[in-house]
Every structure is written in C-alpha cells, then in structure tokens.
C-alpha cells in the first residue's frame, strides 16, 4: 500500500530505470491509489449512513415546525426573548427553534426567514435579517 501522506516523486521509484519502467511503476501506483480511494469511499458511505441513522433517532418525537406551527413558535420565542421589540436575527431565531423542534428543508434558516417575511401580520422586518413580533396580533 502506498502511504497517502507522503508526496510521490519519480525519484522514489525502486526501479529508477528507463522511462518504460517508470511508467509501469506509476501505473501500479495509480492502480493501488484507485483501490485505496474505492475503499475509503465505501467507508465514507458507511459513516454517512450511520450518521443519518443517528440523526433520525435523535429527531424521533421532536415536533416538525413548519407553516402555522413555525409561526406560532417563532412568535412565542420573540415575545419572550425580544420584549422591547428591538429585533433578533433570523439565524438566531432559527437556532432557538431548532432546540424545540425540527425545521424541514435544506436551508432551515432561509425557511424561517421566508416564513417570518411572509407573515407580515405577525412579524415586522427591521432590515438586515432582523425581525420582531407585532403587538397588534396574537397568533
């Protein structure tokens, strides 16, 4: 097996002879490295599968926050944590909501921001990603 932590140089070849010999050795190294890469990819796939299984187990029993439930939880959090209505960044709101439930989607913070932005009757945008709750509506 070729150690992958050391740089490969043509001078390190045992044969050190003619160009044909060097090509043979390089071809062997390439094949060995390709096999190492294949094994590592298999192991990486196994690790990813295990991590995904652990993530699913950790999320069991946690509520999924989307639509109305996301609006209700976000407003309740803002009322409690932003009583002076100075605004909180949507990424901070997202992090807080993830402690109490799962937010679907690839970009959870973007989903929270879109939800806050679309619910203008419950939230006010203060600019630069900052949102607060509106006092004139309950939830």
Give tens-digit pLDDT for 87-109: 999 999 999 999 988 898 889 99
CA quadruple 19, 24, 27, 32: dihedral sign? negative
Residues 54 and 73 in one domain: no
Flag whether 48 is in a domain: yes
SS3 assignment, position 4 = coil
Q: Are 65 and 102 in contact (CB under 8 A)?
A: yes
Q: Is 27 left (phi over 0), alpha (psi -120 to 50) or beta?
A: alpha
Let me know whether 46 and 97 are in one domain. Answer: no
- Indicate the number of domains in the chain: 2
Separation CA 45–CA 82 (nearest Å):
43
Domain span including residue 109: 68-133
pLDDT tens, residue by residue, 46-86: 898 888 777 776 667 778 888 999 999 999 999 999 999 99
Residues 72 and 55 in one domain: no
35 and 86 part of one domain:
no
Does a structural domain hold residue 54?
A: yes
Same domain, 78 and 52: no
Q: Are residues 81 and 129 in the same domain?
A: yes
């Amino acid at each position: 097996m070729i150690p992958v932590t050391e740089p490969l140089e043509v001078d390190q070849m045992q044969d050190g002879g003619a160009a044909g010999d060097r090509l043979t050795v390089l071809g062997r190294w390439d094949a060995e490295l390709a096999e190492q890469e294949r094994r590592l990819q298999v192991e990486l796939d196994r690790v990813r599968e295990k991590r995904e299984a652990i993530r699913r187990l950790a999320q069991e029993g946690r509520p999924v926050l989307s639509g109305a439930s996301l609006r209700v939880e976000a407003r309740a959090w803002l009322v409690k944590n932003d009583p002076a209505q100075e605004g909180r960044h949507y990424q901070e709101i997202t992090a807080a909501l993830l402690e109490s439930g799962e937010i679907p989607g690839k970009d959870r913070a973007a989903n929270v921001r879109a939800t806050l932005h679309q619910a203008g009757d419950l939230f006010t945008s203060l600019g630069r990603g900052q949102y607060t709750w509106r006092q004139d509506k309950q939830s």
